[in-house]
């Protein structure tokens, strides 16, 4: 046979011995890990490990001189005792993986995920995905399920969104495996980020740190090696030979630490203090004059409290404050010494509003800019250089004709406004580290369902719960909020709304991923 022609008797005996020590689950795992390497139709016909070895030899992945791929596969499925039959040890395989590894980070991630999915979790996942699965298949293993999703194009190297969604619902702990893969996948773009970050610096000052950083990544993260080589056109500007002299001495370690610290400081806000920060929720529901009661707003306030508490903030809620009381509350929190031990500050205001302002219970307007100005570095030094986020659910213009089940957070027509038009970018203080999330653009109303709450607040809470566990930054989350609210229309399809964020943030604002599952 071809096998007898191509390989020595000794090599065939090695393969037979390995085959005899592998059970059906091991064969299924080997098939899965080879999915990107071998033709799928041929893999489907595989019955034993020997069939896989035959295919690997036919594709020139395996021969008596080079058995590393088989060693890698055995290592990945944790059959470490069989490595010695190929002359390898677990440590030797680990050492060579970054240079010789052939199983993609994507395939590794899926396999690791399958290993962590219990039978109960699998049943739940299959139930959630039943509309996408063939009706004829009743029993599926985790690996078979993943292959089915890939066949249907629902799961690819660049799109793991559906997988994230079901893992989030079934067991958020599974997300760590996917997040680890996404971080590795992002290394190529990280390299570009590094280059763009330092391009303005004197070349001599930073060059060694960049070189060291790349060497460090290759050494510390074996799966990154392929990604970096894939992007070698980008890296040619560094003039590096990544496969040579990968030795991290103590002085180089110091350089790496310095560079990582430098990179962290230039890309995201520090969010690892002992306390996350305070979150104020001001919820004005009823008013003294002609402004309507804001039905559904208590649902919004409760949702904000649950979500920001989940995110680690200390939430304080105030109801039905007059314009003077709103100003007094801001002065009180402005003077608070405890801010110095906190990472950030958040303030959410739910009320009726006009252009650039919100109404107190007494129907007097309070300028949004004035509210935010209490927390500038000069007025509140404890929050200097820390992110300050404000979310406003209020109309920014006149009330419009509307169906009864949707209300607008606007003034009523017979209450004239002296306010001039003010855009969100004009409301925000000129100095850095502020974000203002507005429910609607200037001059327009924002909608609130009298039972389900405001479109904007419900979308904000929903997207925070979905995207914070994925490591997304606040601006990416608000973009998703925009898309969500922008798609919504009222029952008659005539009323739409578009939120508008304005910001002077200097870095990415990323909430640390909470240990607990989202509250809803």
Position 1 scores a pLDDT of 52
pLDDT value for 40: 85
Question: Mean pLDDT for each consecutive 10-residue tract of the chain (520 residues)?
Answer: 61 91 94 92 92 93 92 94 92 86 90 93 90 76 92 89 91 86 60 45 47 52 42 34 34 47 65 92 93 87 96 97 97 95 96 88 94 92 94 65 42 41 56 83 45 77 92 89 70 50 86 88
Structure tokens at 43: 């893999």
**What architecture (CATH level 2) is domain 109-265?**
Orthogonal Bundle (1.10)
Which residues form the catalytic set?
352, 395
Q: Which of 466, 323, 481, 298 is nearest to 389 (CA)?
A: 481
Euclidean distance between CA atoms 446 and 453, whole angstroms: 11
Burial letters for 79-96: b for 16+ Cβ neighbours within 10 Å, e otherwise? beebbebbebeeeebeeb
CA neighbor of 225 nearest in space, from 75, 113, 105, 108: 105
Neighbours of 133 (CB within 10 A): 16
Output the six-digit token pair for 136: 């004829």
Element (H, E) at 401: none
Structure tokens at 392: 């406003």
3-state secondary structure 156-174: ECCECHHHHHHHHHHCHHH
Number of Cβ atoms within 10 Å of the Cβ of 229: 13
Q: Where in the chain is the domain with CATH 3.40.50.1460?
A: 275-401+429-504
CATH of domain 275-401+429-504: 3.40.50.1460
- What gap in Å lies between CA 311 and CA 518, rounded to an integer? 9
The distance from CA 52 to its chain's CA centroid, rounded to whole angstroms, is 37
Q: What angle do CA 213, 215, 219 make, to 5 degrees?
A: 115
CATH topology of domain 1-103: Death Domain, Fas (1.10.533)
Summarize pLDDT for 29-75 with one digit per residue, the tens.
999 999 999 988 899 899 999 999 999 999 999 988 899 999 999 99
CATH 1.10.533.10 domain extents, the chain: 1-103, 109-265
Q: How many Å separate Cα 164 from the centre of its chain?
A: 10
pLDDT tens, position by position, 394-422 = 865 554 433 333 444 554 434 344 344 55
Q: Give the phi and the psi of residue 122 in degrees, each rounded to 5.
A: -60, -45
The answer to whether 358 touches 365, Cβ cutoff 8 Å, is yes
Token pair for 384: 């200097």
Threshold 0.85, pTM exceeds? no
Per-residue 3-state assignment (H helix, E strand, C coil) for 434-490: EEEEECCCCCCCCEEECCCEEHHHHHHHHHHHHHHHHCCCHHHHHHHHHHHHHHCCC
CB atoms within 10 A of CB 243: 11
Q: Tokens standing for 441? A: 């653009």
């Amino acid at each position: 046979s071809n096998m007898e022609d191509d390989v020595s008797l000794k090599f065939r005996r090695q393969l037979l011995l390995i085959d005899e020590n592998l059970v059906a689950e091991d064969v299924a795992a080997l098939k899965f890990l080879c999915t990107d390497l071998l033709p799928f139709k041929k893999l489907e016909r595989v019955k034993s490990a020997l069939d896989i070895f035959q295919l690997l030899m036919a594709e020139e992945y395996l021969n008596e001189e080079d058995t590393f791929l088989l060693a890698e596969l055995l290592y990945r499925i944790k059959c470490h005792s069989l490595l010695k039959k190929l002359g390898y040890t677990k440590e030797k395989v680990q050492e060579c993986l970054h240079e010789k590894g052939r199983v993609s980070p994507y395939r590794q991630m899926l396999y690791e995920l399958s290993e962590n999915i219990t039978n109960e979790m699998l049943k739940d996942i299959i139930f959630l995905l039943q509309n996408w699965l063939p009706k004829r298949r009743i029993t599926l293993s985790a690996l078979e399920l993943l292959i089915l999703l890939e066949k249907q194009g629902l799961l690819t190297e660049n799109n793991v969104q559906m997988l994230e969604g079901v893992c989030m619902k079934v067991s958020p702990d599974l997300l760590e495996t996917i997040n680890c893969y996404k971080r590795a996948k992002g290394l190529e773009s990280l390299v570009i980020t590094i280059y763009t970050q330092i391009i303005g610096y004197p070349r001599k000052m930073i060059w060694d740190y960049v070189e060291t950083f790349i060497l460090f990544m290759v050494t510390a993260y074996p799966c990154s090696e392929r990604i970096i080589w894939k992007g070698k056109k980008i890296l040619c500007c560094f003039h590096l030979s990544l496969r040579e002299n990968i030795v991290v001495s103590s002085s180089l370690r110091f350089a790496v630490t310095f560079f990582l610290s430098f990179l962290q400081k230039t890309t995201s806000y520090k969010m690892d203090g002992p306390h996350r920060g305070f979150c104020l929720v001001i919820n004005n529901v009823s008013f003294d004059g002609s402004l309507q009661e804001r039905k559904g707003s208590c649902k919004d306030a409760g949702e904000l409290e649950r979500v920001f508490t989940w995110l680690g903030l200390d939430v304080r809620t105030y109801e039905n404050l007059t314009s003077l009381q709103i100003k007094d509350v801001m002065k009180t929190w402005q003077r608070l010494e405890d801010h110095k031990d906190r990472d950030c500050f958040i303030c959410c205001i739910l009320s009726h509003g006009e252009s650039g302002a919100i109404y107190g219970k007494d129907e007097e307007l309070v300028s949004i800019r004035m509210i935010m100005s209490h927390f500038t570095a000069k007025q509140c030094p404890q929050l200097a250089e820390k992110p300050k986020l404000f979310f406003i659910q209020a109309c920014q213009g006149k009330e419009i004709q509307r169906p009864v089940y949707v209300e607008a957070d606007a003034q009523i027509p017979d209450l004239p406004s002296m306010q001039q038009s003010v855009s969100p970018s004009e409301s925000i203080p000129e100095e850095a580290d502020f974000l203002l999330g507005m429910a609607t653009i200037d001059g327009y109303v924002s909608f609130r369902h009298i039972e389900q709450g405001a479109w904007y607040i419900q979308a904000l809470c929903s997207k925070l719960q979905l995207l914070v566990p994925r490591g997304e930054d606040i601006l990416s989350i608000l973009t998703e909020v925009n898309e969500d609210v922008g798609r919504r229309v009222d029952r008659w399809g005539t009323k739409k709304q578009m939120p508008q964020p304005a910001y002077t943030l200097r870095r990415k604002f990323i909430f640390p991923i909470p240990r607990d599952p989202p509250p809803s």
